[in-house]
Structure 1
Amino acid sequence: MFVQPWDAGLDEAEWQTWIAEGHDFGQLSVNGPAGGPPLVVPTHFSSDGGDLLIHLARPNPVWEAIERDPNVTFTIIGDYAFIPAPWRAAPGTEPTDGVPTSYYAAVQFTCTAHLVDAPEAKAELLRRQLAHFQPDGDHATVAVGQPPYGRMLSGIRGLRLHVTGVRAKFKYDDHKPVELRTAAADRLTERGQGLDVPAAVQQRRRLRRVGPWKL
């Protein structure tokens, strides 16, 4: 993932907070067979200290690839919007002379994958995931040999992705004039399509922290 200086995360707390606000779905990318394309799997995840926790169905084709090469990438993307040309036109120029772009936030983890196959270890992984996704505890107990989850454990494999690197990107025109960024956020809010409003929230947040861009 290419990151311009003005798009970079401002500190670790920024991307950590962004993920904690509900961005817990991403794409696992693994090296495919020689001469073949990478394998990419969309999935929810939770975290446990320095590891990302995932479980996938046993028939998933990624397992052979991970066993061959445990170096993987996990990417989360959100708060994205298309910005049309007129929104980015310089003052005094034709609106159509502006150059369109995309706004988005992304966090990319490079990881070493560790397989989780022991029944109790898989049960513990699921318990940790459920604690994240259903914190009210409105689910059955996950226990080896006990329904409903016990009989399902053999049908999944778990993954602990040990994070070895993080790249965060918040692409919201931080290098552009304050007036353009403010107007773009207002237009996103007014348009209100897809993730326009969350994108406007991110742009305004970055605007407050960054202010006018300085090299």
Structure 2
Amino acid sequence: MLQPIRHILESKTIILASGSPRRKELVNRLGLNAILCPSTFEEDLDPKDFNTFSEFVEATAEGKADEVFKRLELEGKSPDLVIAADTMVALEDKLMGKPKDKAEATQMLNELNGKWHTCYTGVILKGVEKTVRFTETTKVHWGHATKEQIQAYVDSGDPLDKAGAYGIGSSLGGAFIPKIEGDFYTVMGLPLYRLCSELCNFYGYKTDQE
């Protein structure tokens, strides 16, 4: 999908403002030679200060992008493009980030058990002269699991660094998800179709995404 702008992307210094191995894997799948640079942005924004969950995840992603962009500029390594993302899970009006420990992970999964919820991923494309913001959402159904199954999953350690305390991309976490409505990669943390569309538009190749 990026082939029409591949020659442009290859000439750019692209930074992925993340320490997430899942997001790094996804940009690698696209053939982007992005440099991994985890942000030190303090993710302490209050969702109550925003009108929607989409605004909240976009603001958090923008905080990550801005921190990395400014830090690299000060180091004399000005990037052409910084890509940042933030993913959260919402069960009705309750927003769930990464659990702080196994107890919170267990609590989150018990709340999600047998229910539909929504995954939000906000993405920022920050260039020298412009910034693009967007959010993709995907509905996810967490299947019915026993307390023993949930506890065994938590004990595996897989949920502890993931929003909503589960990872759909791992065989351990994905086994609990019978169906979704939307982009699978939104749940993994980087919606690939929308990202590619926005990158094409960002560099002047117009798509139907407008």
Please confirm whether the aligned pair reaches a TM-score higher than 0.5, indicating the same fold: no
Instruction: Give 1 or 2: higher strand fraction.
Output: 1
Instruction: Give 1 or 2: higher helix fraction.
Output: 2
Structure whose alpha-carbon radius of gyration is higher? 1
Q: TM-score, normalised by structure 1?
A: 0.32
Q: TM-score, normalised by structure 2?
A: 0.33
